[in-house]
Chains A and B, each alone.
Chain A
């Protein structure tokens, strides 16, 4: 932590506030009474406020107030495979976010390289097209960025910039068919209602290739976990791109444009790009690397019922459980190791709620000798791709999926 004048002044100011509060000069909650959490980010700072200030949301880890970046507290993932809407993580790019959405006035425009421009009301979408639902993990490209070493700038998330929901909506394909895609279409571009504060800054837009957009899985969701989306999660409509990183899951979706040329907008072509290398991995400082848009997710798994550093009884069975996801396909297996990866043992998988969702796993293990043990957890997805044993690195802090480890102390 920087031991400099500016930082000391901040502490002093906070102490002053606390003193003022204690003396009864301030009626609001004093700063030191705020609930805090310490994220174990290497080199820090890891202290974050737990906030309940966001409408329609419960307790969230405050990463940034405006535009909102809210992380899901990790213990939420132990409750089941579906992440509750009120604790589902939140990530916005621009600060101008509509906070008043009238369902009678909202419309979704479909235009560009189509036979017929459409303006669909929410009623057209809810009642005029077949409804579908599927469970899928929505994960920020930079989930777990705070664990990168060397550290990189950006949203300093721990592992909670992800969630799984049962999404209900209509197929993007059905909407595109209604408009009639013209021959020669190459991509489809999606835009939501959020706007930059500065007028000439790039409006947030993302594109998918036309065949991907028409694969019948990409969905325009109007519900998550059986309810309308919280506003900060994209109410009333959000694109769902199963198996792909959340940057494509455009929130408050109100504009779909079919393109006959590849999209060159900033958010598709420049931002959210990764090194075109295995695991998007490069050496710090490496240059002249070909960059490609981030795309499919990769497998991950986590322990959810035991925090690192937990004490357990030696030589007696301990139940360990957690969640896993395959990335762009299902979970084939989740294995654990207590001998630093020399031998792996299979865990039992819970109910399959759909290949793009979280899957619970659990196992009983016994640590024979007292002392500190490292538990490694590794998911192998149904394409046969395992999590790597060494962490990847890239300057944007994207696509972390190294085998996770926790320390368990047997006593």
Chain B
């Protein structure tokens, strides 16, 4: 009976202190070594699929692109240009057109 009361009293005392001032319990950190999964998913075959597979998958897997909603050709062109200009994706100039066409064919707004 009494044994059960003690933790409750301690909890109440802790709970009544202002949160930001509450001291954290001691903790030791342990080294971590993991392997992150990779994705071997390719963009589906179609005109321009080589261009998109060769240029885009070095920095990110295909999944998020395939999860995008239908967007206008203009919006896809803006995305590709953002990848090149802001994120420095080394896309060969001759591949830009085919990549935009591919995305518009796959995920174009009707």
User: Could you tell me which A residues sit within 8 Å of B by CB distance?
Assistant: 2, 4-7, 9-10, 13, 41, 43-45, 48, 51, 53-56, 62-69, 94-95, 97, 99-104, 122, 126, 130-135, 146, 151, 153, 155-156, 168-169, 196-198, 200-202, 216-217, 222-223, 226-228, 231-232, 235-236, 266, 270-271, 353-354
B31 & A169 in contact (Cβ 8 Å cutoff): no
B46 & A104 in contact (Cβ 8 Å cutoff): no
B24 & A135 in contact (Cβ 8 Å cutoff): no
B87 & A43 in contact (Cβ 8 Å cutoff): no
Contact partner of B34 (CB less than 8 A), chosen from A99, A222, A227, is A99
Q: Which residues of chain B come closer than 8 Å to A13, judged between CB atoms?
A: 44-45
**Most chain A beta-carbon contacts within 10 A, residue among B44, B69, B88:** B69
B25 & A226 in contact (Cβ 8 Å cutoff): yes
B63 CB-CB contact with A under 8 Å: yes
Known: A4-B106, A62-B63. A103 touches B29 (CB 8 A): yes
B67 & A55 in contact (Cβ 8 Å cutoff): no
CA distance A312 to B49 in the complex (A): 49
CA distance A332 to B90 in the complex (A): 50
Q: Which residues of chain B come closer than 8 Å to A44, judged between CB atoms?
A: 69
CB of B18 to closest CB in A, whole Å: 9
The residue in chain B whose Cβ has the minimal distance to the Cβ of A151 is B69
B106 & A132 in contact (Cβ 8 Å cutoff): no
Write the B17-41 contact mask toward A (1 if CB under 8 angstroms, else 0): 0011111111111111111111101
Provide a sorted-by-A list of 25 A–B residue pairs whose CB atoms are within 8 angstroms.
A4-B106, A6-B47, A6-B105, A9-B44, A44-B69, A53-B37, A63-B64, A64-B60, A64-B64, A94-B59, A97-B36, A99-B33, A103-B29, A131-B24, A132-B20, A132-B22, A133-B19, A151-B69, A151-B70, A153-B69, A202-B86, A202-B87, A227-B27, A235-B29, A354-B20
**8 Å CB interface, B31-79 against A:** 31-39, 41, 44-47, 49, 58-61, 63-64, 66-71, 75, 79
The residue in chain B whose Cβ has the minimal distance to the Cβ of A222 is B29
- List 4 other contacts, CB 8 Å, given A64-B63, A130-B23, A198-B89: A64-B67, A95-B59, A126-B28, A151-B71
User: Could you tell me which B residues sit within 8 Å of A by CB distance?
Assistant: 19-39, 41, 44-47, 49, 58-61, 63-64, 66-71, 75, 79, 86-90, 102, 105-108
A65 & B37 in contact (Cβ 8 Å cutoff): yes
Contact partner of A68 (CB less than 8 A), chosen from B30, B36, B45, B86, is B36
Q: Which residues of chain A come closer than 8 Å to B37, judged between CB atoms?
A: 51, 53-54, 65
Known: A2-B70, A63-B64, A197-B59. A126 touches B29 (CB 8 A): yes
Q: Which residues of chain A come closer than 8 Å to B68, judged between CB atoms?
A: 153, 156
- Counting residue pairs across A and B whose Cβ atoms lie within 8 Å, the total is 168
A133 & B24 in contact (Cβ 8 Å cutoff): yes
CB of A28 to closest CB in B, whole Å: 11
A66 & B39 in contact (Cβ 8 Å cutoff): yes
CB of A362 to closest CB in B, whole Å: 20
A99 & B24 in contact (Cβ 8 Å cutoff): no
B23 & A132 in contact (Cβ 8 Å cutoff): yes
The residue in chain B whose Cβ has the minimal distance to the Cβ of A223 is B27
B60 & A122 in contact (Cβ 8 Å cutoff): no
B69 & A43 in contact (Cβ 8 Å cutoff): yes
* A-B pairs with lowest CB-CB distance, top 3: A6-B46, A168-B24, A10-B44
The residue in chain A whose Cβ has the minimal distance to the Cβ of B33 is A100
Known: A6-B105, A66-B60. A222 touches B75 (CB 8 A): no
The residue in chain A whose Cβ has the minimal distance to the Cβ of B40 is A65
Q: Which residues of chain B come closer than 8 Å to A2, judged between CB atoms?
A: 70, 105-108
Known: A6-B49, A7-B44, A9-B44. A156 touches B69 (CB 8 A): yes
Contact partner of B24 (CB less than 8 A), chosen from A56, A62, A223, A232, is A223
Q: Which residues of chain A come closer than 8 Å to B28, judged between CB atoms?
A: 126
Contact partner of A63 (CB less than 8 A), chosen from B41, B67, B89, is B67
CA distance A99 to B38 in the complex (A): 13
CB of B63 to closest CB in A, whole Å: 5
Q: Which residues of chain A come closer than 8 Å to B89, judged between CB atoms?
A: 198
CA distance A69 to B23 in the complex (A): 33
Contact partner of B39 (CB less than 8 A), chosen from A65, A104, A134, A198, is A65
A231 & B46 in contact (Cβ 8 Å cutoff): no
A65 & B38 in contact (Cβ 8 Å cutoff): yes
The residue in chain A whose Cβ has the minimal distance to the Cβ of B48 is A6
